Amino acid sequence: SGPLITNARLLVPYYIANPKTDSALTQSNKFFTTWEKIINPITVAASTTINYTITSGVANPRRLVLLPMWQKLGGLSTLTNPEQSPFDSVPATSGPFAGLSNLQVYVSNKPMYQYPIQFDHEQYVEEQTQLGVGGAQLPGQTSGLLSQQLWEQNHRYYTVDLSRRLDSENGSSKSIQVSFTNPSSAFDMKVIAIVFYEKRWVINTGQCQLSSA
């Protein structure tokens, strides 16, 4: 067999920039934001209460997510990192029925709740209200939120919306702390804590120069 085409010509379209158009499209101070994250693992022994500082200072914190999982489940003393085990469903899910008791979150040493709470599915939906149609007041219009059964059994991750609190102090550096109790008397717990914060950028579209605001 031989080549199908022996001669070919490549046509490349081009355009001549219009100075007025370039001037209109060029922006020297285009502003946009992205969400960055800080990830810390927290290890808690059975029936133990911990107060842990996730970060000593971050500007514009927006959300805190906690993913609890059991350690040494099934009597395996070496299973200290269940998220790396092929025999465990985490981190696609939380640990089976893994929960946190007496949860409290501190931003700049200020508690987010009046007192430590027992975080349940109702509180989970409340923290996610901005994701649903009409404020997620209708159960059928909650943007695919987990049902109570799914959340309680195998997808129990904890999320706290920090953007609805302390809005007047946006831009200043804040510490993020969390305290909770491992309710199990038999198994240790590992909790992956993720803090999402807003990063602000300025781009010069003419020179493609990017800088943090």
- Tell me, what's the pLDDT at 15? 72
C-beta neighbour count of 146 within 10 angstroms = 18
Mean pLDDT of the chain: 83
Give 91-142 pLDDT, tens digit per residue. Answer: 888 988 889 999 999 998 999 999 999 999 888 888 876 655 555 555 555 5
Question: How far apart are the C-alpha atoms of 191 and 94, rounded to whole Å?
Answer: 9
pLDDT level of residue 204 (50, 70, 90 thresholds): confident
Residue 118 in tokens: 């027992």
pLDDT level of residue 19 (50, 70, 90 thresholds): confident
Q: What is the CA radius of gyration of the chain?
A: 24
Give 163-201 pLDDT, tens digit per residue. Answer: 876 665 667 889 999 999 999 988 899 999 999 999 888
Which pTM does this prediction carry? 0.77
DSSP state of 154: T
CA dihedral of residues 163, 164, 170, 173 (deg, nearest 10):
-60
- Tell me, what's the pLDDT at 115? 92
One-character DSSP codes across 85-140: -TTS-TTTS-STT---EEEEEEETTEESSSS-B---HHHHHHHTGGGSGGGGTSGG
The mean pLDDT of 52-68, rounded to a whole number, is 93
